[in-house]
Chains A and B, each alone.
Chain A
C-alpha cells in the first residue's frame, strides 16, 4: 500500500529537549515536505526536499532542521524545542513537485511544555 508514515504520532516533551520526528514514504517520490498546522492558519511549509541531499527552507523554518540522506526518509529535527512549536505536523511526498498530488502522512501532534 502506497503511504507516508510518521513517528511518533503523539509526543509531549519539555523545552530544550532535542527531538526527531521521522517520515518515510514507499512510493519512490523525489519530493518531500514538512508542514505545520495551527488553528486559523491552515498548513504552512517548514522545509522541503527536491531529492537526496537537496533541501531548502519553506515559509516557517526557524527552529527546525531536516536532512535527506535517503530518498524514502525525511526526518524533522527540533534541536531545542520551544512552546511555540506546539503544533500538528504533517509530512508529504510527491513524484513531481507541487504540480502533482501530494500524499500526506497521518500527522504528529507535538506538545512542548
Chain B
C-alpha cells in the first residue's frame, strides 16, 4: 500500500542553522510529491511540489526539496532557518483520488 514515512517526530534547530526534514514514500508509479506546512492554529500551506523533470524543486519561503527515486525520498531543506519557520511539516504523495500524508515533523527553532 502507498505510504509516507517521516522518521523525525520533532526536530530542534538553532535560528540561522540549516535544516533537513526527511521523507520516504512507498508508491509503485512515478510519484507526485508535496510538502505542506502548518503553522500553529492554521491550515495547510503548500511549500513545494514535484511532478516530473528536475529533481531539485524550489518552493516558497526559501525551501527546496530533492527527489531521489533510488532512495524513495523527497527531503525538504532550507539553508538558514528563521524563527517564523517553527511549524509542523507534512510530506504527501498523490495516489488515486487522494493525498497520502506522513505523520508530520514538528520543527522547533531556538534563538
Contacts and interface: CB of A to CB of B under 8 A. Distances in A.
Interface of A: 31, 33, 35, 40-45, 48, 50, 56, 58-59, 90, 92, 97-99, 101-102, 104-107
B97 A43 contact: no
A23 to B, nearest CB: 12
Interface of B: 4, 9, 32, 34, 36, 42-46, 49, 51, 90, 92, 94-99, 101-104
Contacts of B101: 35, 42-44
Nearest to A97: B97
15 contacts: A33-B97, A35-B99, A42-B102, A43-B44, A43-B92, A58-B98, A92-B99, A97-B97, A99-B32, A99-B94, A102-B99, A104-B36, A104-B43, A104-B44, A106-B42
A101 B49 contact: yes
Contacts of A106: 42-43
Contact of A42 (B49, B98, B103): B103
